[in-house]
């Protein structure tokens, strides 16, 4: 019964609007299913937390967001700080309005990939060398400005004189156009981070180099922004020569030790789960709809603190760290993140958890054999990556486990720097929004960029 309930919840997470009513009524008509899930809620009130809680599902260990090792004890203070941020106009401003508000110039650029996707990029122009920023799963260019002018990476780089470019992968809120396809069509969403690496990054990088009239740029990727880079540099090795430095913030390639509950729950049964979702017409992970709100109610339990933390889907994927979380700015973060992704992107990550390898998408025995001439998808040849790479990682990251980073490091022959963040509870999203971002991340990053 519990497995069935989790499956329904995961379908809801990915569900498009036309399927919401049916699935909503399904859950509403089976309260015992909901009870099965909510008996051991993932999110609990701070006052009830004791020990490092986890949920065991047939060997799958699901970490919890709120426990005594990562939470501030003053629940009332957290709620007060969150409420104080609800009136911030940055919540509703788009990226151009946001950047302009803080006195920085910004310009939107568009580029078309070889397979027809129209991508938007945002540039904060300057006279220095070009730095290209690439967001992670469910993210967008907003990720690099949403923390505000004091700690937002794009602002800090602009202050240093860098010409800052922020990319957007196909399917997110800034890149939902195609020459012939529409987002309402399943074919539009038939991509994972493999296509982002093979098509999106090359198109955007070539455009930046053409506009800036240079032959190299500096690349900073977060999460999926690192995965897609490793794909590009492996599958399109000619692009290594166009990168003077690649900085990986929370690098994601090997996933054998990933702790993310959503990805772990998807890992068994691949590619069957993806096929089921396709048959239901489910192709996109939407930023927010009534289905996702049902999921949050089911998985997060009750209480004001749980509602605050669970009011955004992103934490269900990557966890969070109260110690580095600017709670007052949380409503602004929620106004810009998540930004959408394809179901196939998430399923591709789940396949990596199951296989322990960094390889191309597995379509099932028949199609995989036809496509790759093998029952097993080919692994990405990391030996092709010769551009200099720096790896930033942390101990408590749900997506990027230190053991997987070590495996990546040993497979790459071009790593010039490895940096473990000296903060025990540093989380996946902290690499962008940590309160101490300038000291824990940017000071190291700045030195690397300046030395190239």
Q: What is the pLDDT of residue 297?
A: 56
Q: H or E element: which one contains 426?
A: none
The pLDDT assigned to 123 comes to 98
CA angle, corner 9, sides to 1 and 279, nearest 5?
Answer: 100
For the beta carbon of residue 302, count every other beta carbon within 10 angstroms: 13
Helix (H, G, I), strand (E, B) or coil at 315: helix
pLDDT value at residue 65: 53
Give the residue with greater pLDDT, 41 vs 296.
Answer: 296
Q: How confident is the model at residue 435 (pLDDT cuts 50, 70, 90)?
A: very high
Is the predicted pLDDT of residue 36 greater than 50, yes or no? no
pLDDT per residue over 280-307, tens digit each? 667 887 544 555 555 555 555 556 766 6
Tokens for 59? Answer: 């060997």
Which residues contact residue 122 at a Cβ distance below 8 angstroms, ignoring those fewer than 6 apart?
A: 95, 96, 99, 106, 107, 108, 109, 141, 165, 166, 168, 174
Write b or e for each residue in 174-210: b if 16 or more Cβ atoms lie within 10 A of its Cβ, otherwise e: bbbbbeebeeeeeebbebbbbbbbbbbbbbbbebbbe
Nearest partner of 38 among 309, 302, 313, 307, judged by Cα: 302
Q: Is 397 a catalytic residue?
A: yes
Tell me which of 232 and 294 has the higher pLDDT: 232
Q: Are strands 217-222 and 130-134 parallel, antiparallel or unpaired?
A: parallel
**Alpha helix segments (H runs only) across 190-327:** 193-195, 201-212, 224-235, 261-266, 272-279, 290-300, 304-310, 314-318
Query: Is the preceding omega at residue 338 within 30 degrees of 0, hence cis?
Result: yes
Q: Is the pLDDT of residue 53 over 90?
A: no
- Looking at residue 238, its pLDDT comes to 98
Task: Give the whole-angstrom CA distance, residue 163 versus residue 107.
Answer: 12
Please identify which of the residues 200, 321, 362, 397 carries the catalytic annotation: 397
**1-5, 32-36, 136-140: range with lowest mean pLDDT:** 32-36
pLDDT at 48: 31
- Is the distance from CB of 263 to CB of 317 less than 8 angstroms? yes
Residue count of the chain? 452
**Percentage above 70 pLDDT, the chain:** 75
pLDDT at res. 120? 98
* 112 band by pLDDT with thresholds 50, 70 and 90: very high
pLDDT at 2: 42
> Which pLDDT value is given to residue 186?
92
Fold exhibited by the domain 89-258+340-450: Rossmann fold (3.40.50)
- pTM for this structure? 0.85
290 is known as an active-site residue: no
Question: Does residue 270 carry a pLDDT above 70?
Answer: no
Of 32-36, 213-217, 445-449, where does mean pLDDT reach its minimum? Answer: 32-36
Break the chain into its structural domains and give their ranges: 2-71+266-323, 89-258+340-450
pLDDT at 259: 85
Query: Quick one: what percent of the chain has pLDDT higher than 90?
Result: 63
The vertex-191 CA angle with 185 and 193, nearest 5°, equals: 150
- Choosing from 339, 427, 428, 430, the catalytic residue is 428
Region at 215 (left for phi over 0; alpha for psi -120 to 50; beta for the rest): alpha
Closest by CA to 188, choosing from 25, 337, 400, 342, is: 342
Check whether 262 has a pLDDT greater than 70: yes
Of 67, 57, 42, 71, the residue nearest 298 (C-alpha): 42
The rounded mean pLDDT for the chain is 83
**401 assigned to active site:** no
> Pick the residue with more confidence: 317 or 253?
253
User: What pLDDT, on the 0 to 100 scale, is given for residue 203?
Assistant: 98
> CA-based diameter of the chain, in Å?
63
Question: Could you report the per-residue pLDDT of 133-182, keeping only the tens digit for each?
Answer: 999 999 999 999 999 999 999 999 999 999 999 999 999 999 999 999 99
Q: How many contiguous H segments (helices) and E segments (strands) does the chain have?
A: 21, 13
Q: pLDDT tens, 394-421?
A: 999 999 999 999 999 999 999 999 999 9
Higher-scoring residue by pLDDT: 65, 322? 322
Catalytic residue among 140, 169, 223, 234: 223
Q: Cα separations (Å) of 311 from 18, 118, 386?
A: 22, 31, 42
Q: pLDDT-derived band of residue 55, with 50, 70 and 90 as boundaries? A: very low
Mean pLDDT of 326-334: 91
- Tell me the pairing of strands 284-285 and 60-63: unpaired
């Amino acid at each position: 019964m519990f497995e069935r309930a989790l499956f329904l919840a995961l379908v809801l997470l990915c569900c498009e609007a036309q399927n919401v009513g049916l699935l909503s009524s399904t859950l509403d008509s089976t309260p015992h299913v909901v009870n099965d899930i909510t008996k051991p809620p993932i999110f609990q009130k701070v006052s009830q937390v004791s020990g490092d809680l986890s949920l065991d599902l047939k060997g799958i260990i699901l970490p919890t967001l709120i426990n005594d090792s990562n939470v501030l004890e003053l629940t009332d203070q957290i709620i007060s700080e969150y409420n104080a941020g609800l009136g911030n106009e940055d919540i509703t401003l788009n990226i151009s309005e946001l950047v302009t508000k803080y006195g920085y110039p910004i310009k939107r650029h568009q580029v078309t990939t070889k397979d027809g996707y129209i991508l938007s990029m945002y540039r904060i122009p300057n006279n220095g060398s070009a730095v290209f920023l690439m967001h992670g799963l469910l993210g967008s260019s907003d990720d690099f400005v949403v923390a505000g002018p004091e700690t937002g990476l794009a602002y800090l780089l602009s202050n240093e004189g860098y010409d800052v470019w922020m990319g957007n992968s196909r399917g997110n809120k800034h890149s939902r156009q195609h020459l012939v396809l529409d987002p309402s069509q399943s074919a539009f969403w038939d991509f994972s981070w493999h296509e982002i690496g093979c098509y999106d990054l090359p198109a955007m990088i070539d455009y930046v180099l053409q506009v800036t009239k240079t032959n190299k740029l500096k690349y900073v990727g977060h999460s999926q922004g690192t995965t897609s880079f490793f794909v590009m540099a492996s599958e399109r090795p000619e692009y290594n020569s166009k990168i003077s430095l690649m900085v990986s913030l929370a690098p994601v390639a090997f996933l054998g030790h990933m702790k993310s509950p959503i990805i772990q729950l998807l890992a068994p049964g691949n590619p069957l789960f993806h096929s089921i979702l396709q048959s239901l017409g489910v192709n996109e992970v939407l930023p927010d709809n009534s289905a996702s709100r049902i999921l949050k109610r089911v998985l997060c339990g009750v209480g004001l603190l749980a509602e605050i933390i669970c009011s955004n889907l992103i934490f269900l994927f990557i966890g969070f760290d109260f110690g580095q979380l600017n709670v007052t700015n949380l409503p602004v973060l929620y106004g810009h993140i998540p930004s959408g992704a394809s179901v196939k992107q998430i399923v591709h990550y789940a396949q990596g958890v199951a296989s322990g390898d960094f390889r191309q998408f597995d379509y099932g025995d028949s199609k995989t054999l036809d496509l790759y001439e093998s029952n097993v998808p080919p692994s990405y040849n990391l030996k092709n990556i010769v551009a200099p790479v720096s790896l930033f990682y942390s101990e408590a990251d749900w997506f990027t486990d230190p053991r997987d980073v070590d495996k990546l490091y040993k497979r790459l022959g071009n790593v010039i720097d490895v940096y473990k963040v000296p903060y025990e509870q540093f989380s996946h999203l902290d690499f962008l929004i940590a309160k101490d971002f300038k000291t824990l991340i940017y000071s190291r990053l700045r030195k690397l960029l300046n030395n190239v």
